[in-house]
């Protein structure tokens, strides 16, 4: 079987990229596969795919025939994924890997983050202490593969910069002048090199980050429009309430006027005694006949100027 298996570690909830190197001149056209050892059997987990990232599959494999490099991605790691695996070309063993998946309280999560167009995005990544010796890395899911932004020589894109705090096991990636193309899925991870003579490396992925990019000017415009709509709606509501109040007041005035007219139209009766000389002897007085006279005075409707019906007692000679 050859050399002892290379050790690979991962954390629950995270992912890991395992690399196997082969000699292109001897196994270039062979069918590549990745299997898990169980007793005397090796169960195939995946075969060559066009993309390393396939959303519906946890295991995927790509073959770079130019570099002679097999890359295997295992997503959403669990404790049960621990074990011994083999990279194969047809039935021939290329490399054996021993995967150890551990519980990771710091990582293995998915997060969402929003950045503003032409602004600055800051991605903060925590990692387990055991990877202090690794080279911290930020990957982005692009065209079905995971592309890294940093090499030993520095950042591939000058807008990206990385700062690491080994004491706190945190590294921060800053993206300047954010563009719409920066939106997407990122992974905080590391490159780890074994002590094996072939320097075979693997890349544990700790945290998945969905970065959204939005235009701040659009947000401001939408907010202003909403405020204006709210103000307009409130103005219309207040105007309707005022109109209703005015109509109600008019109806009340009409009722009051009607009541008042009723009072004004009431008749007042007065008895006017005879102004004749009352000093005559009773026997000399002539009989008096009462005649009723109605007199309506049409005066301005003023509480002091009422319509009077006068009952006058006039002597009839």
Report the distance separating Cα 230 and Cα 222, nearest Å.
12
212-270 pLDDT per residue, tens: 999 876 666 666 677 777 877 787 888 777 777 676 655 555 555 455 444 444 444 44
Report the distance separating Cα 244 and Cα 241, nearest Å.
5
Closest by CA position to 70, among listed 26, 98, 32: 32
Please give the model's pTM, rounded to 2 decimal places: 0.68
Q: pLDDT tens string for the chain (317 positions)?
A: 445 678 999 999 999 999 999 887 777 788 999 999 999 999 999 999 999 999 999 999 999 998 899 999 999 999 999 999 999 999 899 999 999 999 988 888 899 999 999 999 999 999 999 999 889 999 999 999 999 998 777 899 999 999 999 999 999 999 999 999 999 999 999 999 865 555 658 999 999 999 999 987 666 666 667 777 787 778 788 877 777 767 665 555 555 545 544 444 444 444 445 544 444 444 444 444 444 444 555 555 554 444 444 444 444 44
Buried b (16+ CB within 10 A) or exposed e, 83-109: eebbbbbeeeebbbbebebeebeebbe
Beta strand 15-21 pairing with 69-74:
antiparallel
């Amino acid at each position: 079987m050859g050399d002892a298996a290379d050790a690979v570690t991962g954390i629950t909830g995270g992912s890991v990229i395992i690399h196997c190197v082969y000699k292109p001149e001897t196994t270039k056209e062979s069918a590549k596969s990745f299997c898990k050892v169980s007793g005397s059997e090796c169960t195939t987990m995946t075969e060559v795919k066009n993309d390393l990232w396939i959303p519906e599959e946890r295991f995927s494999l790509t073959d770079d025939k130019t570099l002679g490099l097999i890359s295997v991605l295992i997503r959403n790691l669990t404790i049960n994924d621990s074990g011994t695996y083999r990279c194969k070309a047809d039935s021939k063993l290329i490399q054996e890997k021993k995967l150890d998946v551990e519980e990771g309280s710091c990582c293995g999560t998915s997060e969402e983050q929003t950045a503003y167009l032409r602004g600055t995005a800051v991605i903060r990544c925590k990692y387990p202490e055991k990877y202090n010796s690794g080279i911290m890395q930020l990957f982005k899911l692009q065209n079905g593969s995971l592309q890294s932004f940093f090499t030993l020589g520095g950042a591939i894109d000058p807008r990206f910069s990385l700062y690491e705090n080994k004491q706190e096991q945190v590294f921060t990636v800053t993206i300047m002048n954010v563009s719409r193309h920066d939106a997407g899925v990122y992974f905080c991870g590391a490159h780890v090199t074994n002590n094996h003579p072939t320097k075979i490396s693997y890349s544990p992925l700790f945290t998945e980050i969905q970065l959204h990019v939005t235009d701040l000017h659009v947000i401001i415009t939408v907010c202003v429009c909403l405020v204006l709509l709210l103000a307009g709606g409130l103005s219309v509501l207040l105007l309707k309430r005022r109109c209703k109040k005015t109509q109600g007041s008019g109806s009340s005035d009409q009722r009051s006027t009607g009541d008042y007219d009723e009072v004004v139209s009431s008749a007042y009766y007065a008895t006017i005694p005879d102004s004749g000389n009352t000093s005559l002897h009773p026997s000399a007085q002539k009989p008096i006949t009462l005649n009723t006279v109605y007199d309506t005075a049409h005066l301005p409707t003023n509480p002091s100027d009422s319509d009077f019906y006068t009952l006058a007692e006039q002597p009839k000679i």
